[in-house]
Amino acid sequence: MQKIGQDIEKLLEQAWETRKLFFPDKIEFSAPNRTMSVSVTGSSCALNCAHCNGAYLQKMATLETALASKKGRVKSYLVSGGSDSLGKVPLFEKWAELEELAARGPLNLHTGLVTEEEARRLAQIATVVSFDFIGDNETINRVYGLSATVEDYLGSYRHLQKYVSVIPHICVGLNGGVVRGEYETLKYLQQEAVEAISMIIFRPTEGTTFEACETPPADEVARFMATARLMFPRTPLYLGCMRPSGRYREAVDTYALRAGFNKIVLPAPAARLKAETLGLEVSISEECCSL
C-alpha cells in the first residue's frame, strides 16, 4: 500500500468519523451485471474527447441490439452515446426506441448538456440521470473541445433537478490526470440539491489525446474523497466503475472505504478485506450504482 502524508491520514480519519455519525455500518458493493450498457450513437462521437475518443462506446451495445435481445438477466439499462457538437447526447433522435426500452426496464440516462424543455421530456422515460458535472472552464475546453462554460453545466443540472432524479458524476483527474476544478465542482454542488455523488477516476486510454498522461496520484484522490465526505456529511458517495485497475485500484478502493463512501462498483479484493476490518456489513447489488 502506498504511503500517504500525515495530513491526508488525518483527513481520512475525520471523513471516517463523519460517516459514522450519519450512516449505518454498511457498505454496498455493486457488480452491475444485470444492467446493460447501451449507446444510442454506436461507436460514433462528434467530439472525440481527449480522454475517450469513442473508445468506451465500442464496448457498449447498440440500441438496436438491446431491443432485439431477450431480456434474460437484464433488469435495467445504462443509456449513453457520443455527444454532438453542442455537448448533448442525441437521445431524441432515438426517442421511439428509448420509449420501448423504458418499457422493458429502468433507464439511467447520460444526457450531456440539456435545456429545461429537454430535461422535462427526458423525465418521461428516465428513472435517473447521470450527469457529468465539470467545475472548470479550461477543462471543458481542453477535454471536450466545447465553448460551453461551467454555467452551462450548472444550468443543465438545475434543469434536470426540476423533473427527474439526477446524480452528479465527477471524474477525478479528467484534465489529463491533473486535479483541476474538481474541488470547485464540490463547492458548486454544495449550493444545490444533491441526492448522491458518484466519482470515477481518469485512466489513460490508448488511441486518445491523453494516452500518455498519468493517472492522478492515489494520495491526491484520497484527499479529494475525504474532502467530499467532509463537505457532504449526509450525502451518499459512490465510487463508480470507471477507474484504473491493478494495484492503483486496490489503493483507491481502500481509500474510498476509509473516506466513508457508501457504495463501490466492482471493488478490489483489498477493499473487500478492508470492509471487514472496518466492521462494515456488506450487501451486494447487481445493477448500475446510480439505480
Q: What is the pLDDT of residue 71?
A: 78
**Domain membership flag for residue 291:** no
Q: What is the pLDDT of residue 6?
A: 80
Instruction: Give Cα 245 to chain centroid, integer Å.
Output: 16
Q: What is the pLDDT of residue 1?
A: 44
Which triple of cell numbers denotes residue 107? Answer: 433507464
DSSP SS3 for 272: helix
**Domain membership flag for residue 1:** no
**Domain membership flag for residue 245:** yes
**Domain membership flag for residue 290:** no
Q: What is the pLDDT of residue 268?
A: 97
Sheet hosting strand 281-285, strand order edge to edge: 61-62, 35-39, 76-80, 107-110, 128-132, 166-172, 197-201, 237-239, 263-265, 26-30, 281-285
Which triple of cell numbers denotes residue 280? Answer: 462494515
Domain that holds residue 66: 6-285
Q: What is the pLDDT of residue 267?
A: 97
Give me the average pLDDT of each 10-residue run along the chain (291 residues).
76 98 98 97 92 91 94 94 96 98 98 98 98 97 96 98 98 96 98 97 95 97 98 98 96 98 97 97 97 95
**Domain membership flag for residue 61:** yes
Q: What is the pLDDT of residue 25?
A: 98
CB 203 within 8 A of CB 232: no
- Mean pLDDT of all residues belonging to the chain: 96
Q: pLDDT per residue over 25-84, tens digit each?
A: 999 999 999 999 999 999 999 998 989 988 899 999 999 999 999 878 999 999 999 999
Domain count, the chain: 1
CA–CA separation, 291 vs 289, rounded Å? 6
CATH of residue 234's domain is 3.20.20.70
Q: pLDDT per residue over 133-152, tens digit each?
A: 999 999 999 999 999 999 99
Q: What is the pLDDT of residue 2?
A: 52
